[in-house]
Amino acid sequence: MRGLSLVAGVMIAGLSMSAAADTPVERGRYLVESIAGCGNCHSLQDANGPVPGKELAGGPPMKEAVFEAYPPNLTPDRETGLGGWSDEEIVRAVREGRSRDGRIMGPPMPFGLYRGIADDDVKAIVAYLRTVKPVVNKVPATVYRMPLPDSWGPPVAGVQAPALSDLVAYGAYLAGPVGHCVECHTPISAKGELQLARLGAGTREFAGPWGVSISRNITPAALGDWTDAEIKQAITTGVSRDGSRLMPPMGYGFYAKMTDEDLGALVAWLRSLKSAD
């Protein structure tokens, strides 16, 4: 089955991205390398983006007061990666936040949102992960200094993506479950819950080698006067409307690989948000 879809992927590789996205492996590659940006956490990165040859083989530690997180190796290596995992085990890890041994996993991987990744898309992501080069790299266990829930909710099944023709709904799907833009761009309460009444208002702080960046207001109160092209430029190049360079951890280099149709859906969604100060 996997061999067949690989052959199909090679045969249509010369066609456009959207046509190539028709096989599960190509759809999975597209999602992982663009809007989902799994490598923004799971790949070693230097100033030029993911380090060649180490893609998805485990990311740098992410240290905050409440966790010391080590994004694991997602390549098919049997000992240190996902080679020994079944498809169902990987799907459950991504959408339900449960590791292979049943242990519940916590932030920063956005499990609350990943519950909404469509069945076809999560299976495509797994199909693609099976095809990347196996890399031997064992990462330490993540440590949580915070209570974790018993579960992130009941088992997930039967999730469908909205049609791309419904631009706002499809944009919301990309910005929520798949791309977690809303996670970074929505203020959180003292209890750590997203303040959905102020969806897109920004204000979250991200510390890292770059210093501290603060997510910006992306509601029409801030972007209302921007052209579509200016918004797409900020998302895909990290250059803001005034020409200034935007800081990580937003994965601009991943979003640069999005199709123009999908970027259009994101813009339509951004323009549909309630203005927030």
The binding site for ligand HEC (CB under 6 A) comprises 36, 38, 40-42, 69, 71-72, 74, 90, 93-94, 99, 105, 108-109, 125, 142, 175, 179-181, 184-185, 206, 213, 215-216, 218, 231, 234-235, 240, 246-247, 249-250, 255, 266
Cα torsion 155, 32, 57, 232 to 10°: value is -130
Cβ contact 127:24 at 8 Å? yes
Q: How far is the CB of 8 from ligand HEC (least distance, A)?
A: 22
Nearer to ligand HEC, 11 or 193 (CB): 193
Residue in 116, 139, 128 with CA at minimum distance from that of residue 61 = 139
25 or 74: CB nearest ligand HEC: 74
Question: Which residue's structure tokens are 């991504």?
Answer: 94
Residue 71 or 76 with smaller CB distance to ligand HEC: 71
Contacts with 15 (C-beta within 8 Å, 6 or more apart), sequence order:
none
Closest distance between ligand HEC and the C-beta of residue 215, in Å? 4
Cβ distance to ligand HEC smaller for residue 10 or 79: 79
> Cβ 124 to ligand HEC, closest distance in Å?
11
Residue given tokens 């200016």 in the structure block: 230
Q: How many CB atoms lie within 10 A of CB 2?
A: 11
Q: Which residue, 50 or 71, is less far from ligand HEC as judged by CB?
A: 71
Considering the complex, what minimum distance in angstroms separates the CB of residue 13 from ligand HEC?
Answer: 23
Alpha-carbon distance 24 to 126, whole Å? 9
Q: How far is the CB of 22 from ligand HEC (least distance, A)?
A: 20
Q: How far is CA 72 from CA 83, 90, 136, 245, in A?
A: 13, 12, 11, 30
